[in-house]
Amino acid sequence: ETGVTQTPRHLVMGMTNKKSLKCEQHLGHNAMYWYKQSAKKPLELMFVYNFKEQTENNSVPSRFSPECPNSSHLFLHLHTLQPEDSALYLCASSQDWGLTQETQYFGPGTRLLVL
Amino acid sequence: KQEVTQIPAALSVPEGENLVLNCSFTDSAIYNLQWFRQDPGKGLTSLLLIQSSQREQTSGRLNASLDKSSGRSTLYIAASQPGDSATYLCAVIPSTSGSRLTFGEGTQLTVNP
């Protein structure tokens, strides 16, 4: 497989459930990102990891917990979510967080619905 | 705080038309500006990246320009095709933010056969 993959593609969960989103990149990149895309809103950066270290947390509620075990994998652990957390969650990767001349490569996203 | 605005929010054109999508940003201190394409329910695909020192980039039927001093960029699509139908997103990397992308809300383009 190539590029950035995300699983699952669709997820429905109750507010008391615990679930995890998975992202994997096959591009040899060192930086990985989680974004949230809600209807009628711009993409919002949630977290950034560079060389497995978290470099950005954009004031994300603690019910979202990221994990980056290595440079190729990124997880987003979800617990006690709210209906307003329903959105498309996109993962991205790039060569390095500090390389501003490089673009980011996005996965297809996980469509999350919280009931 | 950097803000990115895209006009129009939606655009519907007949096949074959040349069209322009607009993007404006409030702070001219940027490293680069990028245009992305997003198909429904899918991730983003990078189309063009313009460094702050450049004025335009071209790829096939796409041409993007950047006027950093006025905080504007345009994406020109020549001879539009139904396959161009998608949402087009503009994003900037502010000079103070590492590689943090700040996105606009996008322009939803429909090209009718």
Q: d(Cα B63, Cα B23) in Å, to the nearest integer? A: 13
Using left for φ > 0, alpha for ψ between -120 and 50, and beta otherwise, residue A63 falls in: alpha
Residue type, A66: P
Pairing of strands B4-7, B102-103: unpaired
Amino acid at B39: D
pLDDT at B7: 93
Q: Among all chains, which residue has been given the structure tokens 């809300």?
A: B105
Mean pLDDT of chain B: 93
Distances, alpha carbon B50 to alpha carbons A54, A103, A113, B32, B105, in Å:
27, 10, 36, 6, 19
* Residue A34 forms contact with B (CB below 8 Å): no
Best A50, A89, A100 member to test B by mutation, with max B CBs in 10 Å, is: A100
Report the range of poorest mean pLDDT among A34-38, B1-5, B17-21: B1-5
Partners of B44 on chain A (C-beta within 8 Å) are: 43, 90, 92, 106
Per-residue pLDDT at A1 exceeds 60: no
Quick check: A7 contacting B, CB < 8 Å? no
What does the pLDDT look like over B24-44, one tens digit per residue?
Answer: 999 998 989 999 999 987 889
Pick the residue of A53, A104, A112 with the most B CBs within 10 A to test the interface with B by mutation. A104
Phi/psi at B84 (5° precision): -80, -10
For residue B2, what are the contacts with CB-CB under 8 A and spacing of at least 6? B25, B26, B27, B30, B92, B94, B97, B102
Interface contact flag, A42 B93, Cβ < 8 Å: no
- A54 contacts in chain B (CB < 8 Å): none
Residues of B in contact with A42 (CB under 8 A): 4, 102-106
* Rounded Cα–Cα distance for residues B60 and B46 (Å): 14
Q: Report how far residue A101's alpha carbon sits from residue A80's, in angstroms, rounded to the nearest whole number.
A: 38
pLDDT digits (tens, 9 = 90+) for A64-82: 999 999 999 999 999 999 9
| A28-58 confidence digits (pLDDT tens) | 999 999 999 998 889 999 999 998 888 888 8
Percent of chain B with pLDDT over 90: 82
Per residue in A3-17, pLDDT (tens digit) is: 999 999 999 999 888
